[in-house]
Structure 1
Amino acid sequence: MKASTLCFFLCLAIALTCHAKSYQQADSLSYIYADKAEEFYPLELDSSRYYAERVLERLHLQEKPSSLEEEMLILLGRIHNQLGELDKSETYYTEGQDLSRNKGNFNVIASANYQLGLLSRKRNHYDQALKYFQNSLKTWKDLNNISEQAKVYNSMGILFRHWGKTDSSLKYLNLSIEKSKESGNQNTLANAFLSLGNLKAEQSQFDEAKRYYEQYQEIQKARNDSMALVLATTNLGNLYLEQGIYDQALNKYLENLRFLEANEITNESLGHVYNNIGNVYRRQNNFERALEYYDQALSVYNGINSIIGKADVMRNIGEVYNDWGKRDSALTYLELATNEYGQQNQLQKAGTLYLSGRIFYSSRDFEKAINYYSEAAEIYEDYNDDRNLALIYNGIGVCHFFLENYDTAYEYYQRAYEKSLASNYLQLKKNTLFNMYEIYEMRGEYEQALETYLLYTEKKDSLMNEQQTRDIMELTTKYETEKKDAEISLLQAEQERNEALIETRTAQRSSLFFGVIALLILLIAIAWWFIYKIRKEKIIAAQNQQIFQQEIDSLMEQQQLESVQAMLEGQDKERKRLAAELHDRLGSLLSLVKLYFSSMDKNIKESKPELYRSFQDGKDILDDTFREVREIIKEMNDSKVSGQGLENDIHGLLQKIDKFGINIQSNIQLSGSYPDSVELNLYRIIQEALSNALKYSRADTIHLMVSDVGNELHVEIKDNGQGFEPSSVNSGNQTDKSYGLENMKNRAKLINGSFSLQTKPEQGVKIAITVPKQEAEEPILTTEQSHD
C-alpha cells in the first residue's frame, strides 16, 4: 500500500513538472515571437503583423496575464497606421490603453496616448492630438522618463508646425533638444534636429534648414543607421529642389538610388527615390524622363502593395500631363489617384480632387470645377482644415462669379475670408477682399466697396513688406556665399597662375634643347618631303576649318533659337508686368474715381441740374475708359488669350477690327485644337500682321485664310495696300515695322514653321506661314504657360 501510494505521488509530481515546463516553453516562445515582431517593424510590416498576432493567440490560449499583450496591441496599431488603415489602428491603440489601465501598466498607457496623438495629428484633428500628447507627457513626467519626454516634445513641435503655429513649434522642438541632451538619447536628438530642419525649410530659411539636416546626418552616421542616412540625403535633396538647384537635388537622389540598389533594398524608400527623381525632371519640364521614373516608382509600390505610394505617383503623373497640356490624360490619372486613396487617406484624396477642379477651372468648365471643389471641401470640413477650406471656398466663389451667380459668389468669398482669418492665410485674405470689393461695386454698394478696397490695400502693403524682408535676407545670404566663393576662386586662380608659370619655364628650356635638334633634322631633310608635308598640313587645316565652321554655324543657330525664345518670354513677362501695373495703379485709381462719381450722382442731380447731363456724359466716358483698361489688362495678362481655341480667338480679334471700317474677308477652317504655344504664337503673328496692315498699308480690303487641310497648317494674310520695298526693312533701320516682322519670323521659327513675305511698292503685302501638322502637335520649343 505504501509503495503504491509513493508511486502515485511520484507520477503526479512528474506530470506537474512536465505541465509547468510546457507553460515555461510557451512563454519563452511568446517572447521570441514578440522580439521578431519588433525586429521586422517597420521594414517588413506583414512579417511584423504575423508574429504580433501569434503572440496574442498564444497568450489567449494560455489564459495567463502578461504585459506582452498590451505591447503587441500597440505594435499592431502602429503597423495598421503605417498601412493607412487608421480605424483599425485606433481600435488596437484603444484596446491596449484599456488593458493597461486595468493592469496599472503606466508605460503602455503613456505609449498608447502618444500613438493616439500621432494618429489624430495624421487626421488633422489637432485639438484632440494635443490632448493625447499632453496626457502622454504627464505620465512620462510622473515616471521621470526624460528620453520619452523628449520624444513627445518633438511630436508636439511637429503638431504645431502643421497647425501653422510656428512660435509654439520652435519652442517645443528646442525643449526636445534640451531633454534629448539631458537623457543622452542620440536618436531622439537627431529626430529633433530633423524636425527643426523641416520647420526652417517650410519657412524658406534654407541655410538654417541645411545646418539642422547635416546635424541629423552626423548623428545617424555615428549610429551607423543606413536608412536614417537615406532620409537625411532625401531631405537635403528636397531642400535643393525647393531652391531650384536641380543638379544638386538630382545628385542627392541618385546617391540614395545607388545605395538602395547596391543593397538590394526594394521597400518604400526605393519608390520614394524614383518618385523624387521624377519630381526633378518634372520641375525642368522634361516630362518624358519624369514619366519614366514615375513608372519605376509605381512598379515598386505595386510590388509592396503601398496604397499611398501608388496614389501619390498617380497624382504626380496627372500633374505632369496637366503641365504638358494633355488634360484628358491628367484627369484620368487624378481620378485613379482619388480612387486609390479611398476612405483611409481622405486628406490626400481631397488634395487630388482640388487639382482636378483646377484643371476644369483652367478649361473654363466652371460647373465641373465647382463639383470637384465641393467634394474636396466636404473632406476638409471634417478635418477642420481652415487653410485649405479658405483656398477652396475662394475658388468656388470665383467659379460662381464667372457664371454670374454673384450672390452665391459673395457667400463663398465671405466663407473664404473667415477661414483665412482663422488660419492666418495672408495672401488669401488679400485676394478674397479684392473679390468681395468687385461684388460690392457691381451691386452699387459703394460705401462698402470703398471700405473693402482700403482693407485690401492694407493687406497688400503688409504682404509686400513681408516679401521685401524675405528678399533682403535671401540677398544677404547670397552675397555672403558669393563673397566666400569669390575668395576661393581668387586663391585657386593664383595657384593656377603659379603652376602655369613653372610649366611655361620648363617648357621653354625643353623647347630650346629640342629646337636645336629639330633644326639640324630640318636642314638635312629632303626637299620633296618638306613640300609634301606642307601640302598635307594645308589639306588637314582646310578640313579642320570646315568642321570648325560647321560647329560654329550649329551653335549659332541653337543660340539664336534660345535667344529668340528668351526674348519672346521676356516680352510676355513684360506684358504681364505692365498688366499688373495697370491693374494695381491705373485700375485702382479708376475704381476710386468711379466710386466718388457714383457718390456725387444724387447731389449733382438735385443741386445743379443744369450740369447733370454733362456729369452723366463724363461718367459714361469714365465707364468706357474703365472697361477698355480692363480689356487691355486681360489681353496683356492672358498667355492663352481666351483659352477657347485659336479659331474663336481669331474671330474675336476680327470683331475688334471691324470698327476701323476696313473690309476683312476671312476663311477659317480648323479641324481641331493645337498646343497652347502653337495657338498663342500663331495668334500673335496674325495680330501683328493685321496691326501692320491697319497702320501702314492704306488698304481697303484685307484677306485672312487659316486652314489645316492635309499634313500642314496654313495661315495667309494679304492686303491691296501700298506695299513697300523689303530691302528698306532689312537694311538695318530699326523701325516698329522691322521689329514686328522680325517677331513674326521668330515666332514661326519657334513652332518649327516657315515664314514668307511677298511685297512691292503699290502691289500690297502677302504673308504666309506654314507649320507641319506633326510639328504643330508636338513643338520642340514652347513658351511657359501660367495657370491661375
Structure 2
Amino acid sequence: MKNLFLLFFSAAFYLFAISCDTSSEQKLPQIEEKNVEEYRHTLPAYEWLENGANYRTEIYKDSALYHFNHQIENKNYEDAANYLIAYGNALDRNIHFDSIYFKTSSDFYNTHKKDISGEAQSYLCYYLGAQSYFNHQLDPSFKWFKQGIELKPESKSHKQIIGFTNFSLAQNYSLVRDFENTEKHLIAALRIFEDIGDVTNQGTVYLLLHDIFVKTSALDEAEKNLKKGLQIVKQQGNKSLTFSAYSLYVNFNIAKADTIGAIKYIDSMAIHAKQYPGINNYHKALLNQLLAFKHIAQREDKEALDFLKIAREMTDQSNSLDLQMRTLFQEIMYAEIFDKTLKNPEEAERFYNEIAAEEEPNTQFMTQLGSGLYTYYTKKKDFEKANIYATFLLNNRDKESKELIQGKLFELERKFKTEQKENKILLQEKQLKSQREWLFAMTIGAVFLILIFIIFMIWHKSKSLAREKVLAENFTSLLLSKTEEERKRIASDLHDSVSNELVNLRQALETNSSKFSVKIDNILEEVRNISRNLSPTLFDKLGLKLSIEQLTDRAQNQHSFLLTSDIDYSGDLSDTVELQLYRIIQEATTNMMKHANAMAGKITITEDDKYVYAEIKDNGKGFDADKMLEKGNCFGLLNITERTKFINGTVNIKSNKNGTTIKLTIPK
C-alpha cells in the first residue's frame, strides 16, 4: 500500500504547475515598467481565449486560429504570439495535449523567433514544454523549458514565467530521479518569486521541495517544507493550492505508514472542496480517488467501489493520462485488498511496457503496475508472466533499499550542514553582539567627550566674557582716571608754559625788550603742541596717510626717535574709522617711545579687497601682554583693544625680548 502512493509524489509536481496562475489575475506588487500583461488583455477576444473553461466549446479552436492567422497576415508577429500564449494558458488549465496547438506554436517559434520579444519567446517555450510533458515526451519537454529560461527577463511577468519554467524543469528532473537538478531549479524559481513579490508561488515551491525530500526519504526536511508551503497558500487564500497541499499531507502520512493521519487529511480535503468554488475536474477526480483509498483502507468494499466508479468516469472524460494512471493504481489496490479480479489488465500492461521503454523509466509507477500484474497473473496461474513481474519487483526492492539508505544519509548530511550553519550563525551573533557592545561603548565615550568639549567651550566662553567684562570695567575706570589726568596736564601746560610766557611777554612789553618776538614764538609753539596732543592738526583735511607721516616726523624731530612708515592705502575707510585707527597708532607709538626702550620703530599699512592691515613694530625689550591685561593697569593696551573693537576690527599683540608687534585687521 505504501508503494502505491509513492505515485502521488511524482504527480504532485504537475498538480502544482497547473495550480500556478500565469494570467493577470495573479496579484503581484506594481512596478514601473511596460505592463505587457495589461496590453495582452486589450486584444480582441484575448480574455475569452485565455479562459480555460472556454476550451471545450466547439468554436474555441477556430476562434483562436482565426485571430492568430489574422495577425500573421498583417505581420503583427508579437500579437500573433500573444494569441498563442492565451491558447497555451487554456490548455494548461485543462491539462490537455493539443497536437494542432503544438505544431502551430513550434512552427511559429522556429520561423519568427527573432520577430518577437524575449518574453513572448519564454511563454511559448513554457507552453511547448508543458505540451510535450502532457504527451509524455520528456526529451522535447526538457529542450523547450531550457530554451525558455536562457532569455534575459524584460518585465515582471517575464520573470514570473521564467520562474514557472524553472519548477517545470524541476518536475521533469524529478521524474528521472535527478534530485540535485530538481532542487537547483526549484531554488532558482523561489529566488525569482521572492524578487517579484509573488508570495503564493513561493508557497508552491516549498510544497514541491517537500516532494523531493519525500522521494529521498528525508522526511523531516519534507515535513518542514510542507508545513511552510501550506501556511503560505492558506494565508494567501489560494483554494486550489490549499487543496493540493492537503493532498500532499495525505501522501506524506501514507509515506510514514500513518493511515489514520492520511484519512484525517482526506476528510479535510472533502470539507475544503465544498468551500472551493469552481473546483476543477482534475481536483474533483483526485478527491474521489482519495475517498476511494479511505474506504479501501477501512475495508469498506461498496463505498470504495462507488468512489472508484466516479473517479473512473471523470478520468475517462478528462482524457488525462496522468489521471488514468492514478485511477488505475487505485483499481489495482482495490483488487488486491478485496481479492478481486483486475478488470483492465491490458491497460495496466500497456502502461507498464510504455514506462519500461522510456529512456529513464519511472520505477515507482512500474512497481505499482508490476505488483498488480504479478497478483493478477499468479491468480490466473500464468506463472511465466507472473515471474517477469516478480523478477522486476525483487530487483527494484534492492534498489529502493539502497535509495532509502541514501535518503537517510542525505538527511543526516543535511542535518549536519544545518547544525554547521546554526553554529556559524551563533558565532556571527556573538561577534555582532561584541561589535554592538564596542560601538555602544565608543558612542558613550564620544558623547562623553563631546559633553566635556561643550562644557569646556562654555567655561572658556564664560571666562572670556568675564575677562572682557573686567577689561571693560578697568578701561572705563582708567579712562575716567586718564581723563582727569589729561585735564590736569593741559591745565599744568597752560599754567606752566603759556601762562609764564604771557607774564614774560607782559614784562617785555613794559621794558620794550628785544626779546618780544622770541617770546611770542615760544607761546605759539606751546599752544600748537597742546593742540596737536588734543587733536591732530587738520586731520580731516590731511587724511590718515599724511597725519601718520607728521606723527613720525614729530617723533624724530622732538624725541630723536627713529620712527618710519610704509603706507599703501587708498582711503576706503570712513573718516570715523580712520580717526580711530590713527588714535590706535598714536597710542602704540607713544607706548613704544615711553616704555619699550626701543631704538627704532616702524608703521606699516596695507590693504586688499576686503580689509585694511596695520602693523606697529619696535625692537624694544618687550612685555607680557596677557599679564598686563589681566592686571588691568595698562591703559594704553586697553585703549588699543577697545578702539579696535569699536571699529569692528581685530588686534593681535606679540611681544618678546626682541621687540613688540601689534597687528590690526580692519574690515572696509
TM range (shorter): 0.3 to 0.5
TM normalised by structure 1 equals 0.40
Structure with the higher helix share, 1 or 2 = 1
Higher RCO (C-alpha 8 Å, min separation 6):
2
TM normalised by structure 2 equals 0.46
**Greater Rg over alpha carbons, structure:** 2
